[in-house]
Amino acid sequence: MTKQDPQTLPRSAVTEKIELGLAKRHRREKIFRAFGLTAVIFGFMLVFFLLFDITSKALPAFHQHWVKVDVNYSAKNLRYSAGDDLANLSYRNTLRKSIYEQFPDVKARRDKRKLNGLFSSNAEFAIKEHLQANPEYLGTTQPVWVRVDDDVDVYLKEVEVLGEPLVRIDQKEAQWVKTLVENGAIEERFNVEFFTSSDSREPELAGVRGALTGTLLTMVVTLVLSFPLGVAAAVYLEEFAPKNRWTDMIEVNINNLAAVPSIIFGLLGLAVIINLFGMPRSAPLVGGIVLTLMTLPTIIIASRASIKAVPPSIREAAMGLGASRVQTTFSHVLPMAMPGILTGTIIGMAQALGETAPLLMIGMVAFIVDVPSSFTDASTVMPVQIFLWADSPERSFLAKTSAAILVLLGFLFLMNASAAYLRRRFESK
């Protein structure tokens, strides 16, 4: 066996081959890396595009145009005779006559109808409330601000040259709107009603308050049920359960339940909770129960992980001082595991907050105008409201839908941020 000095070794064919291939291999390495970076950048672009798209669509919904009408509260217009109740006067007639006074050249019947269409259908109620609040205006002419119709609103937000016709606004209507704008009779205001009013068939009146209240009620039911149940189940499985087939079965079950499509939980809710137990349809109570069953696996899995992470020395110390298993668990293990459990619960609740499909099954898709006031009232929730509005043909619902999505995403962001905060505080300990 003779050892050759590597320095004097003749460059073998193999080495040469390797060196020849090196450039190619390094090029491949670069390409592979570029692919990876592209995928990550693609992900970033998706997030930005999604958020940008929704935000840009949503912005118009936060402002709304109002129009000034010089309402002539004359007894003739109101068909008022002394002693009449102010609530039962002819406000529609008053509104129309006042509008015609502002546009004296509009004569044809069809044109008049078009002109009326520029104002929100709830304008007559607005002027009614105005008079009821100020009875002394009877017989005088007063400026009242009312909402414009949703088509006009969209027109004002999108048109480039005022007076040109656009979708659903023709030449004549465009000219009237132009006149109004030039007279200073149109004003843009922040859309407070979007947060303070409920769903409506008229896009200019629709708001998210009903859906937000429904979401709140549903989430309360979900939290009240899923947190204690989930933590109790996790505590049992981690601290008390003997290792046997029964607990194995429960474990496998929980893992499988976590991956069952959410719509199946809707079927369960419909068949068992509504048809078998006879609970009311569309109620936050039923929605909350269905979402509880759906989020339980998430909470159980997170809580178990958190309980498992508590060092065994804590348990041994407690037991060594004479504490029983239950005492050890409730006064030592659980408090230490709480941040992790809370994080898991918040993530589970965030999931439940964005869930739509199972709620469609149990009838939470109804068109509901009233704000729900109890757990058994018919109601809807934010994601379902988004679904309903996205289906509506009116153009200005597009902005409303995006705005509702922004509100929902805002809540989700808050929840996830608090979960992240909790996790970080827990980790730093």
Partner 1 sequence: MTTTHLAITVVIIALFSYWLGIKRAITVAGGVKHTRQLVSLPGQYGLLTAFWCGLPAILFLLIWSAIEASIVDSLLIQKVTLSLDATTQQNMSLLVNNIKILAEKVLLNEDVSSATALQLEHAAYYAELNTKATWLKTLLTLVIAVGCVAVLLTKIKQTFHARNNLEKIISGLLFTCSGIALLTTIGIVMSVLFESIAFFTKVPVTEFLFGTQWSPQIALRADQVGGSGAFGAIPLFVGTILISTIAMCLAIPVGLMIAIYLSQYASPRLRSVAKPMLEILAGVPTVVYGFFAALTVAPLIRDFGILVDLPIVAESALAAGLVMGVMIIPFVSSLSEDALTAVPSALKEGSIGMGATHSETIRKVLFPAAIPGIVGAILLAVSRAIGETMIVVMAAGLAANLTFNPIESVTTVTVQIVSLLKGDQEFDSAKTLAAFALGLMLFITTLALNIAALKIVRKYREQYD
Residues 285-314 that bind partner 1 (CB under 8 A): 293, 296-297, 300
* CA–CA dist 102, 327 (Å, integer): 80
Give the SS3 label for residue 206: coil
Per CB under 8 A, does 240 bind partner 1?
A: yes
The correct pick among 76, 189, 325, 424 for binding partner 1 (CB under 8 A) is: 325
Per CB under 8 A, does 253 bind partner 1?
A: yes
* CA–CA dist 33, 42 (Å, integer): 14
Give the binding range for partner 1 (CB under 8 A) out of 109-117, 141-149, 157-165, 264-272. Answer: 264-272
Give the binding range for partner 1 (CB under 8 A) out of 8-16, 25-33, 75-83, 161-169. Answer: 25-33
The correct pick among 78, 310, 361, 407 for binding partner 1 (CB under 8 A) is: 361
Q: Both tokens of residue 298?
A: 């998430």
Smallest separation (angstroms) from partner 1 to the CB of 188: 24
* CA–CA dist 401, 407 (Å, integer): 10
Instruction: Annotate 239-279 with DSSP letters as a single string.
Output: II--SSHHHHHHHHHHHHHTTS-HHHHHHHIIIIIITTT-P
Per CB under 8 A, does 331 bind partner 1?
A: no
Q: Which is nearer to partner 1, 248 or 316 (CB)?
A: 248
Half-sphere exposure in the Cβ direction for 278 (13 Å, CA) = 0
Site for partner 1 in 129-168 (CB under 8 A): none
Site for partner 1 in 220-239 (CB under 8 A): 228-229, 232-233, 235-237
Per CB under 8 A, does 350 bind partner 1?
A: yes
Q: Tokens 């809710």 correspond to what residue?
A: 269
The correct pick among 139, 261, 311, 335 for binding partner 1 (CB under 8 A) is: 261
The correct pick among 272, 314, 319, 336 for binding partner 1 (CB under 8 A) is: 272
Q: Which is nearer to partner 1, 35 or 190 (CB)?
A: 35
Per CB under 8 A, does 387 bind partner 1?
A: yes
- 159 phi and psi angles, rounded to 5 deg: -70, 145
The correct pick among 15, 16, 19, 53 for binding partner 1 (CB under 8 A) is: 53
* CA–CA dist 202, 151 (Å, integer): 10
Smallest separation (angstroms) from partner 1 to the CB of 400: 12
Q: Determine the angle formed by the axes of helices 284-308 and 245-257, rounding to 10 degrees.
A: 120
Instruction: Annotate 338-391 with DSSP letters as a single string.
Output: HHHHHHHHHHHHHHHHH--HHHHHTTTTS---SPP-STTS----HHHHHHHHHH
Query: Count residues contacting partner 1 (CB under 8 A)?
Result: 85
Per CB under 8 A, does 278 bind partner 1?
A: yes
